[in-house]
Amino acid sequence: MNLIIKASSLVIFRDLLKDKVFSLFIKLLDSIEYSNEDGIIREFQMKRYSKFVNALYKNGGNFTEYVLNFILEDENFYIVNYSQNRNTDKNIEECLKNELSIIQEISTMSPQKIKNMLTYNHETGENVSTPYFLPLWNVSENIDFYAEYTKRAADIESYGYGIYAKYYMFIIRNGAVVPVKNPDSIKLENMIGYELERKAVIDNTEALLSGKPASNVLLYGDAGTGKSSTVKAIANAYKDKGLRIIEISKKQLREIPFIMDSLSINPLKFIIFIDDLSFAKDDDEFGELKAILEGSVSARTSNIVIYATSNRRHLVKETFSDRDGDDIHHNDTVQELISLSERFGLTVNFSKPDKKNFIDIVTGLAEQYGLNVPHDELVREAEKFVLRKSGRSPRAAKHFIEYMKTKEN
């Protein structure tokens, strides 16, 4: 049975046939299979060859590794069922072995052999001279696809499948979860100060990853104190242990129940991240978030938590008219707004640092940036800098060090 027929028989990895690079390779094989017997390479064959190589070169140039990565990240009925129940039907297991053998055979075909097959003369049994300018690609003959796939499946809680196997930070766009391809690379080890505050959030995240009860978290406090950076740094630190983060805006809160439903059977752990959250008393989104936190919209799932940041402890934007009590139910309204923050199981306060802590942050950042300035001068200039800004904060310290670094250069 030729490889084209074998490829068309795929069941578990059916989506591989829709992949651009793989489908171009199958079309190339098809052009060889039905080539003219004189061994003269035709224009359509040249085009198919070049299109395939062009697409592969854009993805690294190694066909075996490209195909292996595709199947390891593929979301199919086998891996979804396996992630929930390790026992699989013996017929499906046999199908898996056969398909991985077929895919391995296709992806490790010798590029030189394919090049030669383009100009094979069926009458003489010889090759007409192959165009020297046709490029080759790389393959890896020693990779065992079945061994690699079963190894990945055994640790599916760390790797995941589908889009969540390839990326770890996401946003919502037009109602769909889309990856952030160039996420903020901030690291926990580079963050200075707020160790106790960060530890509380880290401990909660580790509880989530270990399958223990974890809380929804509100990180509140002054601007520029590292609330959002803490959440993103945690996502970076734990991505290889199965943590993923989906950032949404206040206007997208109504999407949360649908996100939770779609992820409830996923083997990975998720943080739904809402940055810079606050409400006015007439915000429609207020009720939506309250219902979500109370679990009255969607049942609480053990693999998802909500992390939110806010400059306000009670998430409420208070106006003078609120204070004057022009609402006859003013007290009830304010108390209802304030009670929202209490729906978070864990609240962590990030307040502006005092002078000593601020200088500690400045000194630590100066060392990270390789800034060669005497300590006394550094302190003096830092204090002058924050007088021109909005006060002491880790963000102000970072801006100051970057400013000093440009002067040094």
Residues 345 and 361 in one domain: no
> What per-residue confidence (pLDDT) applies to 278?
77
Boundaries of domain holding 133:
3-154
Instruction: Judge whether 398 lies within some domain.
Output: yes
> What per-residue confidence (pLDDT) applies to 68?
98
Instruction: Judge whether 164 lies within some domain.
Output: no
Instruction: Judge whether 291 lies within some domain.
Output: yes
How far is CA 270 from each of CA 120, 245, 284, 360, 405, rounded to the nearest angstrom?
54, 6, 25, 33, 37
Instruction: Judge whether 163 lies within some domain.
Output: no
Question: Could you give the CA distance from residue 369 to residue 375 in angstroms, rounded to a whole number?
Answer: 14
Question: Could you give the CA distance from residue 226 to residue 305 in angstroms, rounded to a whole number?
Answer: 20
Supply the CATH number for residue 339's domain: 3.40.50.300
Q: What is the pLDDT along the chain (409 residues), one digit of tens a residue?
A: 488 999 999 999 999 999 999 999 999 998 886 655 555 567 788 899 999 999 999 999 999 999 999 999 999 999 999 998 877 899 999 999 999 999 999 999 999 988 887 765 555 555 556 666 789 999 999 999 999 999 999 999 999 999 999 999 999 999 899 999 999 999 999 999 999 999 999 999 999 999 999 999 999 998 999 999 999 999 999 999 999 999 999 889 889 999 999 999 999 999 999 998 877 666 777 777 777 887 654 556 889 999 999 987 666 665 545 555 555 455 555 566 567 777 889 999 999 999 999 999 999 999 999 999 999 999 999 999 988 877 899 999 999 999 998 887 6
Question: Could you give the CA distance from residue 409 to residue 402 in angstroms, rounded to a whole number?
Answer: 11
Residues 244 and 104 in one domain: no
> What per-residue confidence (pLDDT) applies to 125?
52
User: What angle do helix axes 63-73 and 20-33 make, rounded to 10 degrees?
Assistant: 130
Question: Could you give the CA distance from residue 106 to residue 115 in angstroms, rounded to a whole number?
Answer: 15
Residues 364 and 338 in one domain: no
Beta bridge mates, 62? 138
Residues 334 and 216 in one domain: yes
For residue 314, which of 295, 333, 327 has the smallest C-alpha distance? 333
Instruction: Judge whether 330 lies within some domain.
Output: yes
Task: Give the count of domains, the chain.
Answer: 3
Stated pTM of the model: 0.86
Residue 355 tokens, joined: 């002078």
Domain ends where: 154, 180, 196? 154
> What per-residue confidence (pLDDT) applies to 38?
53
Question: Could you give the CA distance from residue 255 to residue 258 in angstroms, rounded to a whole number?
Answer: 6
Q: Strands 176-179 and 169-173: what pairing?
A: antiparallel
For residue 307, the SS3 value is strand
Instruction: Judge whether 84 lies within some domain.
Output: yes
Residues 207 and 335 in one domain: yes
Residues 378 and 346 in one domain: no
Dump strand ranges (E) for 195-354. 217-221, 243-248, 269-274, 304-310, 346-350
Residue 211 tokens, joined: 């399958």
Contacts of 398 (CB under 8 A, 6+ apart): 365
Full 3-state SS string of 130-161 = CCCCCCCCECCCCCCHHHHHHHHHHCHHHHCC
Question: Could you give the CA distance from residue 308 to residue 241 in angstroms, rounded to a whole number?
Answer: 22
> What per-residue confidence (pLDDT) applies to 328?
45
> What per-residue confidence (pLDDT) applies to 336?
60
Instruction: Judge whether 160 lies within some domain.
Output: no
Contacts of 215 (CB under 8 A, 6+ apart): 204, 305, 344, 345, 346
How far is CA 379 from each of CA 53, 332, 360, rounded to the nearest angstrom?
58, 48, 10
Question: Could you give the CA distance from residue 13 to residue 48 in angstroms, rounded to a whole number?
Answer: 23
H helices within 182-319, ranges in order? 195-209, 227-238, 256-263, 284-294
